[in-house]
Amino acid sequence: MFQAVIFDMDGVLIDSEPLWHQAEQAILGGLGVDFTKPPQLQSTGLTTASVVAHWYQHQPWPTLTPLQVEQQIIQFVANGVRQGGVAKTGLPALLQQLEQAALKIAVATNSPQLLLDTTLQRLNIAHYFHARCHIELVTQGKPAPDIYLLAAEKLGVAPRHCLVFEDSFAGVTAAKAAGMTVVAIPAAHEWQHSKFDIADHKIRCFTEFDYRQLPALLS
């Protein structure tokens, strides 16, 4: 049924979402951004550029360009990954299982190449991936489907034969728009949210997933 598996990175391969939150609070907050003022933003799954642009539009700061702020946030997260990044529970075992099944594996992330390379190196999992797609390779990030379509193209697999793991609504939306089957892994506080109903299946962590049981899970 499936010839390839594509992973999102932040919140899927690695629990980096807290780092993104810390970076935004430290850097944007340091510039005077008040996150309690509307219009508020659910930033999970969005590009760093779009998050910065949102707050700059509504609460502009006098110093630093949006690009400089974006780069500071990315560097903050990269440093955190280097110092203490840990693979999501069950990920190493699943990657081994997929490799043994001779499936093609890719990563498709709204993060830049710096963070992608840093994460794969920190987790020592780079050798599993046949394709690595990051935000700098596409015109539009998630929730647009571009990055997932690029991953399928790089793998040489039709989108309908790709299985995706995503933790964010933006990512699930992107993968579904690309015509792929999606397993959502929502954060605990979003587990019950109806927005993830568009996913084909939902799990709490990789230990709940067995590729060999996939047809039954999706039936």
Q: Which residues are catalytic?
A: 8, 10
Give the chain's length.
Answer: 219
| Amino acid at residue number 80 | G
- CB–CB of 69/31 below 8 Å? yes
Q: What tokens appear for 42 in the block?
A: 């659910």
* Residue 65, number of CB atoms within 10 A of its CB: 11
Chain centroid offset of residue 36 CA: 25
Neighbour-count burial of 53, counting CB atoms closer than 10 A to its CB (0-12 exposed, 13-18 middle, 19+ buried): middle
